[in-house]
A and B are shown apart, each in its own frame.
Chain A
Amino acid sequence: MSKTPSVAIRIQDLHLSFGDTRVLQGIDLEIRPGELFAFLGPSGSGKSTLLRAIAGFGPRPQGRILLDDEEITSQPPWTRNVGMVFQSYALWPHMTVFRNVAFGLEERRVAKGEIRQRVERALDLVGLLELADRRPSQLSGGQQQRIALARTIVVEPRVLLLDEPLSNLDANLRIQMRREILDLQRALGLTTIFVTHDQEEANTISDRMAVLDQGVIQQVGTPMELYDDPANLFVAGFLGTANVLSGRFQQTAEGSRFGTPGGFEVLLEGVERSGSGHILFRPQNIRIVQRGEALPEEGVRMEGRVRHREFLGSLVRYEVESGGEKLLVDDNHQRGDPPYEPGTAVVLQLNRSQIIVMAE
């Protein structure tokens, strides 16, 4: 587990089907050496299938998978040296922790003494050296997860694949484990891909991520790029909450005027666009005050009426009806602030620079 030169993963025009069902379509992706990369998507999006294809499991895909310049597409799983940690951990119940971790080294015909050394180092790295003689069934979920990690990294794989690594852990442990995974990945410099359906998980630890839906990569980038500039409505909706308005753009002298059938209108300065399309903005981009209260002058002003509210702790999320649209508005909560009751007439103010314009 010394720091080995990191490897790039390249996937070129990958297609994969289960019988007649097309699960992956035209995947092109380049993962840089040493990167912690996330595959994010809802269930059935193909993210796990893509990960398994890199490890060599599942039906043979069309297209190419390369580690640096070596093509591995048609290699069997056991010759790829691609480390994978399974969602269920898949620790073998008939072996002790030590035997589990030693397995891959034994398959590689490593000398006995060296096996002991390396297994102990790996167990020490995940902080569970004292559990070497236990059976997997005697371990907690978090411990099993660490052992599964140790079992994989002990063989010094070229890349590390994690399939929903945190999904079987409870909320507190999940936060702790994701930090540990990040630390470990940084320490080893291993190019790592992890699959998740949880955007917070992907946002917090990944360098970059790919959002998948229906077997197609929707967008690739850093978490912040994807949040701020989603390529399409799916990405916008999957990463956080967004107000999406559908309507028509009309080109004018000052810019493009966007209007919805319900009467919501906004002038987008410096934008050149006409025809139908969408605009979207996040709930925290809107300020809300009771009608009659003063607001700074800049921004788009809208009148509306509160329909519902949800108290979320750090903020209160209002659903406000305005111009025939239902908008979600987040208001920071301070101790003692009274919330606006449903029915209250309010004024909303939207910062123009936060509006994202999207084609049909």
Chain B
Amino acid sequence: MTLFARGDRGPAVVGLALFLFLLLFLAIPVVKVIFVAFQDVGSGQFSLINFVDFFNTSLFRESFVNSFYVAAMSVAVASVIALPLAYFTTRFNFAGTALIQTLGVVPLIMPPFVGAVAMQLLFGTNGSVNLLLDEWFGINIPFMEGLNGVILVQSIHYFPFILINISAALNNIDRAMEESAQNLGASGMRLFRRIVFPLAMPGYVAGAALVFLKVFDDLGTPLLLDVNNMLAPQAYLRISSIGISDPMGYVISVILVVFSLLALWTSLLLTRNREYATVQKGGGGLMRRDMRPWEKAGAYAVILLILLLVLSPHIGLTLLSFGTIWSYSVLPDGFTLDHYLEVFESASQFITNTLLYATLAATADVVFGTAISYIVLRTRLAGRRILDYAATASLAIPGVVLGIGYLRTFYEFDVPVVDKPLASWWVIIVVALLIRRLPYALRACMAALQQVAVALEEAAENLGATKRRTVWRVVVPLMSGGILAGFVTSFATAAVELSATLMLVSEEADAPLSYGIYVFMQSAAGRGPGAALGMIAVLIVALGTYLSHRVIERNRQQQASDRLVAAAET
């Protein structure tokens, strides 16, 4: 008697190993964090005392309100940027659509914290824009004052999430939905309010929930803008200054997790039911019309303004990385390559570390992703769905929380040969990156495997290949496009991860790029080299994004032509 059918034994062993890995590096650390939050420090008993303390401290109450306010306002400002763009592309036959689509990708290639300091130099009280405004109109607008700065930087970075979601929602509405309302007498604003808006709403809220979650959890941007009275920075500062025994960091972690779960749940709930509005026949999307000349001029003006705003972190960072001294002036005093030279001479370990960590993490991600997809989609192992859920659940775990969990869980575990705690060994950074990016790689691998017809595998087995050989010779090659896309996405996003990294870097020699940028940007003198490092990070991410886009495009074309061939042969 065996526990599993013959062909399932291999997958079962792999599945068990993956399960244990996720248990050890995701579930246990998070549970540990939650456990500590509900534990009385003195007695070790279960207690709500930490939460009572938390809400009795005015700084924490303020941080809580601030985090909520910043996340909500970022959603609002991002919506204000995204809605007109979505309106132009879905409602009109508009040549600027390609421009808008590009515009939607540009912010994503630069992590918000990288551009934060540059934004301060452009939009701060003494920044370029305010200097000009003061000269021309005698006014000063506090774009970057305190929370405003975080809101501005975050909404410029995250508005594409909303743009993409709402555009997709509008384009997916069956045109007959609109026409049948017109046929029954509705038009204009009533038609929009009663039919179009409710149908597009789920898509919008799904995007907005994601933006809320990202901003609520973010550590790097507030820290770099020196805004400490928010939840994630408070958690980081408590742990790093008071120590891992201080319960407040854990309480904050629990709050962050709860809000992340809520936001994610909202988003999932709404996107799951979205198929109802999708195109049936007769073409998707709303009726479009041509723009009148003055409308076109207005549209281009709006797009240009948004484009400038969206590109401002990139422009600022470029100026900063090439500028000599930039203070109380519209532009830097002069230009130089010194910052880049300095970075390559004294800080190149940041770059090599990043390449090493991101490569290791992304490789492991796609290997795990492929294995989990196969187990979930192709085997009948009991509990196989748990792997999928567990790997995806890491989306809801903020980097700060994972970092704190690792510190707490692995501080007393000494790695034998290296002879130091696992929590301060560089490998733990790789593990954190791996866990944080696994959901992206897993989704890419799942999608790829779903496209491989089971009959192709059965044909291989029919011709004598074992399960293992079939996976290796048929499944993996057919999935390669999706696996590659998953790798590149994981790599590019892992290369600029800051929140978990910040918690886990124990010495500068082990630190990756994002940590280096953070350290440099702390001091006025370090801004130049920090910006140069930032430029390198942007290049890495841009290259990664471009490559994954290419891979996905090529894949799609390949599959389209495969289908054509298949259709022609039948």
Contacts and interface: CB of A to CB of B under 8 A. Distances in A.
Interface of A: 55-57, 76-79, 81-84, 86-90, 92-94, 103-104, 107-108, 136-137, 151-152, 155
Nearest to A88: B280
Contact of A88 (B182, B183, B195, B282): B282
B185 interface: yes
Interface string B157-200: 00000000000000000101101111111110010001100110
Contact of B179 (A83, A90, A107): A90
B186 A94 contact: no
Contact of B199 (A76, A81, A94, A155): A94
B209 to A, nearest CB: 18
A104 B176 contact: no
B184 A103 contact: yes
B480 to A, nearest CB: 37
A83 B181 CA distance: 11
Contacts of A55: 179, 183
Given A76-B187, A104-B185, A155-B185, A86 B198 contact: no
16 contacts: A55-B183, A57-B179, A76-B182, A78-B186, A78-B187, A87-B281, A88-B174, A88-B282, A90-B174, A90-B180, A92-B180, A93-B276, A94-B199, A107-B184, A136-B276, A155-B185
A55 B282 CA distance: 15
Contacts of B190: 107
Interface residues of B, number: 22
A136 B436 CA distance: 39
Contacts of B282: 86-88
Contacts of A151: 180, 184
Given A88-B174, A107-B190, A82 B183 contact: yes
Interface of B: 174, 176-177, 179-187, 190, 194-195, 198-199, 276-277, 280-282
Contacts, number: 73
Nearest to A87: B281
B178 to A, nearest CB: 9
The 3 closest A-B pairs by CB, nearest first: A104-B184, A90-B176, A107-B185
A88 B185 contact: no
Given A55-B179, A90-B180, 4 more contacts: A76-B182, A78-B183, A90-B176, A103-B181
A107 B184 CA distance: 7
Contacts of B186: 78, 103, 107
A84 B183 contact: yes
Given A55-B183, A88-B282, A104-B184, A94 B176 contact: no
A87 B176 contact: yes
Nearest to B199: A94
Contact of A86 (B179, B185, B194): B179
B198 A88 contact: no
Nearest to A161: B183
Contact of A78 (B185, B195, B280, B281): B185
Contacts of A108: 185
Nearest to B198: A94
A108 B184 CA distance: 9
Nearest to B276: A93
- Of B174, B179, B195, B277, which is in contact with the most chain A CB atoms at under 10 Å from its CB? B179
A93 B183 contact: no
